[in-house]
Structure 1
Amino acid sequence: MGKSFQLICLILCLSLGAHAQGSGISWKKISQISLKDLSGKTVQINGQKPTVFIMFSPECPLCRNYVPVLTDLQKSHPEIAFYAVFPGKAYAVDELKRFHKDYKPGFTLLLDQDKKLSRHLGATTTPESIFINELGIVVYRGLIDNWPSSLGQKRKVITDKYLASAILQSGLNRPVITKQTKPVGCLINDL
């Protein structure tokens, strides 16, 4: 084979591999977005390790019910940062404090009042999980698991734990089988 043919094959393989890994998110842009924590302090996220963002709403029953599941997942994977992001001006730090007091999540709660992070991530729904590796590649996005079958409808038995599976497969350096599902919940409002 000629060198030019080998070069073309190498370029094609590299571009297909990059496409197969998923879409990218700019950690640099995320690090420039100001969010507020429970104390009202401004924080930025640096992306130095794999991160799961979960879009949350304090009045969403699904979000409330997923707190123990996500807390257990965070405890099982301390190498991954977990953030519940509350998008929009409809929420205040006091609501995050009440949510924390009432539900005791084992992960960080952040307020995204200007929805800059939510827009950058392409988030549309609460709850919606977005798992990004340290390179900025979206490993998985969508449902936490298949418990909600549609808005207001829940399965009796959870058969697919999408987020947990993506974390496990990624940690084992295996391809993630399910890269995206359509989230079920309330649309992120414009407030």
Structure 2
Amino acid sequence: MGFLEILIIGIGLSMDAFAVSICKGLSTRKLQLKHALICGCYFGFFQGFMPLLGYLLGIQFKDKIESIDHWIAFILLALIGINMIKESFENEESCNTEFSPKIMIPLAIATSIDALAVGVTFAFLNVNIFIAISIIALTTFIISMAGVKIGHVFGMKYKAKAEIAGGIILICMGLKILLEHLHIL
């Protein structure tokens, strides 16, 4: 898996964090750089850490399921993508205005659970995990910071669209992995 594919996955994974960052920006009366940095750091760190954790779990089973690893990657990415699209239609517009660790850590964990599953798929693919988690973490950091500003300026207008886009991206990447392993692409 190359840089571009990992970057695309990173963008797809970061859409949940982007949506929450939009919400945080919307709830902030006087936006400061520290608000964007807090979101970027929390979401970026957990989006980078969770794939590593998933990868470490996945390599425990790699030898046992190598013949169907492409199906597992496809199913996990498709399920994550479908779930993101489904969540985009749910009407959760309340935002907590705090940026404290007791608020940010649960949000960061919740938005990075998908990244854990993606990390499991990385164990079955030819991926340099340290490059992958660096790309995902940095992508999420940047996108989350932008989300805070966008939320502050535009409000909730882009939250659902971001989740739909993220879901579609992950489904497409899962399909690409499957088709490549089946030698259709």
Structure 2-normalised TM-score?
0.24
- Structure in which a larger fraction of residues adopt strand: 1
Higher Rg of the two aligned structures? 1
- Structure in which a larger fraction of residues adopt helix: 2
Structure 1-normalised TM-score?
0.24
